[in-house]
Each structure stands twice: as structure tokens, then as C-alpha cells.
């Protein structure tokens, strides 16, 4: 078992040895691409002409992106989708987690699992399935909505005619938002459940003694205690929503849908590079989108973070 000391790795060098496989890959495939993409954003280049054909063009690519109608349209689509798919996730996940936390014991893991399952399944398989569910004449979603029209009261809120989800520009975004909501709401439920477990039980007991109803307890104890997690969860949703690519890509056949209504910025910059062969402009757009993500993350941070140094 004893190896001669000379051939042994000393504890001083061991960490470098242990960390180098990861660090080399991280440098080549994590950090370098980032630096290269910044460099590329100031160049003009077409993949067919070889690396040597690259040419410095200053801020032309950024100027082009900022004047490009489709780029702005894609940003608006992305923002719309991030809000319309993100906000409902939290509005539903918070009370849902509260119900599960307060009323479920034995069935709890199964229920949480059911909500979480969409998160681990393939986006492609899901988007393919939903494109059939969203079909105008034979899709189960429209058939379900039509059936609900027959129900009194509820029917008033339901569309009378079958909705053309994927053909009409104004319906594509809601269809995408529904899929994204379905996929990520369970993830948020788990986040909020974890946060709920940290609230001491005796606070609720004291509140019950003082005659506070469950509703009052929810508003005055639960919600305030969840604030840090709401901040964190909303930040994750914003970052995730602004990167939206796969669901709209599959749903619109990779082209953004009619009138580009389903074209997110991530899809547009993919198309800019791989369909229109303009890698410089695509890189510039990726950095512009990155700036938007950074600013919005910072803003949510400011809006939700509790005042004072304790956060």
C-alpha cells in the first residue's frame, strides 16, 4: 500500500491536480466562448468564408441590432412571455404550497411529485405533445374549453368559438405561456414549501390563540416570511423567462410563428447566426439581451429585497 514518498503528490500540489481537469474544460468551454463572443460582436463574419475573413466593424453590429425592427419585436415578445408565464407561476405556487404545507401529510410527496414532474421531462417531447393538444378543431384544449362553455357562470368566461392557438399571432404567446407555466409551477411550489418549513409553528399557534383566522395568518405571517423566497423565485423566473427558446422554437417550427409573434430574442439570435449567417450581429444581440437580463435581475433585486443590511 505504501507508495515511495518521492512519487507521492504533496498536499500542496494535490488541489491543483484535482481541480485542473474541471478548470481546463471550464476555461475552454465556459470562459473562452464568452470572451470570444464579445470579440465577435465587434466583427463581421460569415461561417462560409473561414476564420481569417473576420473584419473589425466597431459598434456596427450593435447599431444594426438597435435599428432592427425584428430585434425589438423579439424583445417585446420575450418580455411579454416572461411576465405572462412568470407571474402566474408565483401567484399559483404560493397558495398551492401553503395548502400542501398545511393540509397534506401522508400524500404530500406524491402530490409534490405530480406538480414537479413536468420540470424534469424533455421540453421537446412536451412541446410536440402540446402542439397537438392546441390543435384548433381536434385539440383537447379547445374541446375542454367548449365543454366548459356549457357550464353556467364559468361559460361566460370561455371563448364561444374554437381558438386558433398556433395559427393566429395573438394566440401564440398565450399558448407558449401556458406550457411554460405548466412546466415550471411545480419547481416554484417546491421552493415555497422549503421556505414554509422554516417558519416556526408556534407563531401560528400563538396567532390561533389570539383568534386569527387562517386567511389572516396567511396574510400576516406566511406572506411576509416568504418575502426572501419570493424575491429569489421571481428572479429565477425573470432570468429563465428571458432565455425562453425551446418551447416557442418547437411550437413555431423554428421560425417564430406567423407574424413572428412567437419569436423570442434567443430564437432570433439563433436564426441571425444559423439561418441568416450573420454571426457578428447575433453575438451583439446576445450581449444586448444579456444586459437586459442583468438590469432586470438588478431591478427585481431592488424591488423585493427587504430594507436594511439583514438581507
Which residues lie across from 43 on neighbouring strands? 56
Please identify, among the stretches 10-18, 66-74, 168-176, 299-307, the one whose residues bind another protein according to the rule CB under 8 A. 10-18
Sign (positive/negative) of CA torsion 97, 99, 103, 109?
Answer: negative
- The answer to whether the beta carbons of residues 272 and 263 sit under 8 Å apart is no
Interface residue with another protein, options 104, 199, 203, 258 (CB under 8 A):
104
Residues 138-177 that bind another protein (CB under 8 A): 138-140, 143
Half-sphere exposure of 4 (CA within 13 A, CB side): 2
The residue among 171 and 288 lying less far from another protein, judged by its C-beta, is: 288
Instruction: Tell me: does residue 186 bind another protein (CB under 8 A).
Output: yes
Instruction: Tell me: does residue 295 bind another protein (CB under 8 A).
Output: no
Read off φ and ψ for residue 275, nearest 5 degrees. -95, -40
* Number of CB atoms found within 10 A of residue 267's CB: 24
Instruction: Calculate the alpha carbon distances from 284 to 34, 66, 179, 269 in Å.
Output: 12, 10, 29, 9
Instruction: Tell me: does residue 250 bind another protein (CB under 8 A).
Output: yes
> Least distance from C-beta 274 to another protein, angstroms?
8
Interface residue with another protein, options 83, 207, 221, 239 (CB under 8 A):
239
Please identify, among the stretches 26-34, 65-73, 154-162, 299-307, the one whose residues bind another protein according to the rule CB under 8 A. 26-34
Half-sphere exposure of 122 (CA within 13 A, CB side): 5
> Least distance from C-beta 78 to another protein, angstroms?
11
**How many residues lie near another protein (CB under 8 A)?**
100
Interface residue with another protein, options 135, 163, 171, 300 (CB under 8 A):
135
Residues 48-87 that bind another protein (CB under 8 A): 51
The residue among 36 and 72 lying less far from another protein, judged by its C-beta, is: 36
Instruction: Tell me: does residue 304 bind another protein (CB under 8 A).
Output: no
Distance CA 128, CA 134 (A): 10
Residues 209-238 that bind another protein (CB under 8 A): 213-214, 232-233, 236
CA 97 to chain centre: 20
Instruction: Tell me: does residue 21 bind another protein (CB under 8 A).
Output: yes
Instruction: Tell me: does residue 6 bind another protein (CB under 8 A).
Output: no
List Cβ<8 Å contacts ≥24 apart for 136-139: 136/162, 136/163, 136/164, 136/165, 136/167, 137/162, 139/165
Amino acid at each position: 500500500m505504501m507508495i515511495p514518498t518521492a512519487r507521492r503528490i504533496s498536499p500542496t500540489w494535490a488541489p491543483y491536480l484535482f481541480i485542473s481537469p474541471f478548470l481546463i474544460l471550464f476555461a475552454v468551454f465556459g470562459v473562452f466562448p464568452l470572451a470570444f463572443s464579445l470579440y465577435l460582436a465587434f466583427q463581421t463574419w460569415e461561417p462560409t468564408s473561414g476564420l481569417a475573413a473576420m473584419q473589425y466593424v466597431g459598434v456596427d453590429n450593435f447599431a444594426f441590432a438597435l435599428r432592427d425592427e425584428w430585434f425589438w419585436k423579439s424583445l417585446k415578445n420575450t418580455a411579454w412571455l416572461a411576465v405572462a408565464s412568470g407571474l402566474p407561476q408565483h401567484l399559483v405556487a404560493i397558495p398551492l404550497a401553503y395548502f400542501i404545507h398545511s393540509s397534506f401529510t401522508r400524500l404530500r410527496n406524491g402530490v409534490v411529485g405530480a406538480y414537479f414532474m413536468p420540470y424534469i421531462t424533455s421540453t421537446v417531447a412536451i412541446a410536440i405533445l402540446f402542439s397537438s393538444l392546441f390543435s384548433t378543431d381536434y385539440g383537447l384544449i379547445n374541446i375542454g374549453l367548449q365543454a366548459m362553455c356549457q357550464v353556467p357562470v364559468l361559460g361566460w368566461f370561455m371563448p364561444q368559438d374554437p381558438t386558433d392557438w398556433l395559427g393566429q399571432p395573438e394566440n401564440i404567446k398565450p399558448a407558449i405561456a401556458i406550457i411554460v407555466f405548466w412546466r415550471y409551477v411545480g419547481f416554484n411550489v417546491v421552493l415555497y414549501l422549503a421556505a414554509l418549513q422554516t417558519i416556526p409553528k408556534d407563531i401560528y399557534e400563538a396567532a390561533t390563540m389570539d383568534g386569527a383566522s387562517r386567511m389572516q395568518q396567511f396574510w400576516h405571517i406566511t406572506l411576509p416570511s416568504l418575502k426572501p423566497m419570493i424575491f429569489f423565485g421571481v428572479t429565477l423566473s425573470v432570468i429563465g423567462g428571458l432565455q425562453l427558446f425551446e418551447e416557442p422554437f418547437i411550437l413555431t417550427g423554428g421560425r417564430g410563428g406567423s407574424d413572428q409573434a412567437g419569436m423570442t430574442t434567443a430564437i432570433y439570435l439563433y436564426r441571425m447566426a444559423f439561418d441568416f449567417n450573420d454571426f457578428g450581429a447575433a453575438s451583439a444581440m446576445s450581449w444586448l439581451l444579456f444586459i437586459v437580463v442583468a438590469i432586470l435581475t438588478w431591478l427585481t433585486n431592488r424591488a423585493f429585497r427587504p430594507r436594511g443590511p439583514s438581507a
